[in-house]
């Protein structure tokens, strides 16, 4: 089966943000997205807002950007849609948060969105899909060809643990501390086609992979292959899907800059015939686990000898390496905010500090509400 790839003329950026609706009085998630999204869709073709979408569960709203040239433009695009959702939510007595998991709401209390696609997904996959009470951030970066998209998968996967560590915001699950920085990472891996991308030699391999699964009827569409990094043929992008929901737009934008700069730099290296990281599968798997378990409070394997380097040092080195690219793309200030994330610490640390200071899981939700409303982490 041939799968056409709509190549992008430039390394453009698109961002998808999954939000949760919470009751500010109980701090629990609310099953209210269906009516809210329907109301916001009135007046648009098909009754659907072009940038505000349903997700699997009725506690979740997805907000997407258009095609943007810079992270700053993407932030403005997201903010406009978020303001629309926030206003509609406030009218219904609701607030917004964005984190990998909710601190205490049980997934059994959440309702599936009334959409045939989601109901079929639950029917086919069962419990692993039904418990997906999680939120993530997805970054799309334009690439010039299908072969570039394949060549980028392994180099991007090499850097994947840094995104996991920096975005970690899911230490709690069903009211318990998981001892993870990103419990969402392991929850999402429960889906049958989720996780690290396979080793593919070229676009023909990608087409054969999809053909096999489609003809075997184990997937209905290529959208049901949920790798951490994957080509998106319709958009002409590579999609980085490994990040937890981040509690504020400042951090969402910072990792958007990191994603755009990284894809741009790696694409240029491929075009020059230079070597790019080609990590061994077992190193990738172990590093992803270390990042999900410990966040930035760990070190990652960097060679076959088992040498480990602290996450903070790896992030600093990567930002330094990407500065010239960021200057060309006009996003240096956003890229340097990644270093602020290291200095301040990711959300999983801030959430745990609430309980360490004598607070409750409800107080953690209050922190999440405040950070999202402020658009920046609370220091």
Instruction: List, for residues 167-204, the tens digit of each pLDDT value.
Output: 999 999 999 999 999 999 999 999 999 999 999 999 99
pLDDT tens profile 106-125: 999 999 999 999 999 999 99
Q: Which two tokens stand for residue 224?
A: 């049901």
Listing DSSP states for 159-177 in one string gives: HHHHHHHHH--B-EETTEE
Instruction: Give the per-residue pLDDT at 35.
Output: 96
Over residues 67-84, mean pLDDT: 98
Helix/strand/coil for 61: strand
> What per-residue confidence (pLDDT) applies to 109?
97
Tell me, what's the pLDDT at 225? 98
d(CA 37, CA 86): 12
Residue 262 has a pLDDT of 98
| Euclidean distance between CA atoms 360 and 103, whole angstroms | 10
- For 206-256, how does the pLDDT look when each residue is reduced to its tens digit (9 = 90+)? 999 999 999 999 999 999 999 999 999 999 999 999 999 999 999 999 999
Chain segment 262-285, per-residue pLDDT in tens: 999 999 999 999 999 999 999 999
Nearest one of 226, 233, 237, 239 to 196, comparing CA atoms: 226
Task: Domain ranges for the chain, please list them.
Answer: 13-374
Angstrom distance (rounded) from CA 361 to CA 367: 10
- The residues with which 172 forms a beta bridge, in sequence order, are 177
Q: Give pLDDT tens digits for 280-330.
A: 999 999 999 999 999 999 999 999 999 999 999 999 999 999 999 999 999
Give pLDDT, residue 222: 95
- Specify the fold of 13-374: Creatine Kinase; Chain A, domain 2 (3.30.590)
Burial level of 217, CB count in 10 A (0-12/13-18/19+)?
A: exposed
Q: Say if residues 109 and 59 touch (Cβ distance below 8 Å).
A: no
pLDDT at 379 over 90: no
Q: In sequence order, which ranges of the chain are alpha helices (DSSP H)? A: 33-41, 71-91, 116-125, 127-130, 146-167, 183-188, 203-215, 249-271, 281-294, 311-329, 332-344, 347-356, 361-374
Q: List C-alpha distances in Å: 303 to 37, 158, 160, 278, 315.
A: 48, 11, 16, 11, 17
pLDDT at 171: 98
Q: Name the token pair of 133.
A: 């009470």
Chain segment 122-148, per-residue pLDDT in tens: 999 999 999 999 999 999 999 999 999
How much of the chain exceeds pLDDT 90, in percent? 99
pLDDT the model gives residue 338: 98
What pLDDT score was predicted for residue 337? 98
Mean pLDDT estimate for the chain: 97
């Amino acid at each position: 089966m041939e799968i056409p790839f709509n190549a992008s003329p430039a390394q453009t950026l698109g961002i998808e943000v999954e939000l949760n609706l919470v009751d500010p009085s109980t701090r629990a998630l609310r099953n209210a997205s269906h009516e809210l999204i329907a109301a916001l869709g009135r007046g648009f073709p098909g009754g659907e807002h072009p940038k505000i979408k349903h997700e699997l569960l009725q506690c979740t709203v997805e907000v997407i950007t258009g095609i943007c040239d810079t992270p700053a433009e993407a932030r403005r695009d997201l903010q406009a849609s978020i303001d629309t959702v926030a206003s509609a939510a406030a009218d219904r007595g609701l607030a917004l948060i964005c984190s990998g998991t909710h601190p205490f709401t049980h997934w059994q209390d959440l309702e599936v969105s009334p959409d045939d696609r989601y109901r079929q997904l639950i029917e086919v996959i069962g419990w692993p899909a039904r418990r997906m009470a999680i939120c993530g951030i997805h970054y799309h970066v334009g690439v010039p060809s299908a072969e570039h998209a394949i060549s980028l998968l392994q180099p991007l996967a090499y850097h994947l643990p840094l995104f996991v560590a920096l975005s970690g915001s899911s230490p709690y699950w069903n009211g318990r501390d998981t001892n993870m920085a990103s419990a969402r990472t392991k929850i999402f891996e429960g889906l049958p086609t989720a996780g690290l991308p396979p080793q593919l030699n070229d676009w023909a391999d990608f087409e054969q992979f999809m053909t096999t699964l489609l003809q075997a009827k184990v997937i209905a569409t290529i959208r049901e292959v949920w790798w951490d990094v994957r080509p998106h043929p319709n958009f002409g992008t590579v999609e980085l899907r490994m990040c937890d929901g981040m509690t504020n737009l400042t951090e969402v934008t910072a990792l958007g800059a990191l994603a755009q700069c990284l894809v741009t730099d790696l694409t240029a290296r491929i075009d020059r015939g230079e070597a790019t990281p080609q990590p061994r599968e077992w190193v990738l798997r172990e590093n992803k686990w270390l990042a999900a378990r410990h966040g930035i409070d760990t070190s990652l394997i960097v060679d076959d000898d088992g040498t480990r380097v602290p996450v903070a040092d790896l992030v600093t080195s990567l930002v330094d390496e990407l500065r010239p690219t960021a200057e060309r793309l006009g996003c240096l200030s956003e890229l340097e905010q990644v270093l602020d994330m290291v200095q301040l610490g990711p959300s999983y640390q801030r959430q745990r500090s609430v309980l360490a200071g004598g607070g409750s899981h409800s107080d953690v939700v209050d922190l999440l509400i405040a950070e999202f409303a402020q658009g920046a982490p609370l220091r």
